[in-house]
Amino acid sequence: LSGALRLDILRVKRQWLLLGNYNLVRSDQDQVLNDGFGHLRYGQELGGAWSWEAFAQLQYNRRLLIDQRALLGTGPRFQVHDREKLDLAIGLLVMYEYNELGDEPDLLFRHDYRISTYLTAQMKLTDDVTLASTSYYQPLVDRLGESRLSSVNALNVRLGQHLSFGTSFAITYDGLLASL
């Protein structure tokens, strides 16, 4: 069972983004995959190329031993390049992170602050082909060596007026999970 949701509300100076997904795969009585994710983001244009963002996120992923992860963050975003063929932006946010990690009875509870930097790009290669990429670097404020790196990349090919083909690739390294 798998499902995904994306809702964009775009106003002149404000944007809302709601993302969600859920995956459950079972083989006999074993859960091979069980994860869920919800993300809400608000952006307010400040003038020029600057805007301010705030977000909240909930996540769980049994395969990665994440019983629960909750994030709250805020910070500025700078639009480096905004043209029809290339859209490029960087962000520098501060976020609070609550984690419940591991398995019972050794469940680990963590409360941390992270810096969340990101680079996002969308390139229109042709009228029908678009490449999008967002990469994050998120070190802990008090232990910069314990960081999280992630990247999500997607290719979309329009095959007609009502049909397109899309594929994506995501990779994540989490220094906190690597230490468990």
- The per-residue pLDDT for 119 is 97
pLDDT by 10-residue block (mean), the chain, 180 residues: 92 94 85 88 95 96 87 97 92 95 79 95 95 96 88 95 93 77
pLDDT for the residue numbered 39: 96
pLDDT confidence of residue 34: 86
Q: How many Å apart are CA 77 and CA 49, to the nearest integer?
A: 8
Distance from the Cα of residue 87 to its chain's centroid: 18
Strands (E), 62-160: 66-82, 86-101, 108-124, 129-139, 147-158
First to last CA, the chain: 29
Mind listing the pLDDT tens digit for each residue in 113-139?
999 999 999 999 999 999 999 999 999
Q: In the prediction, which pLDDT does 43 show?
A: 96
Taking the CA of residue 50 as centre, how many other CA atoms within 13 Å lie in the half-sphere pointing to its CB? Answer: 6
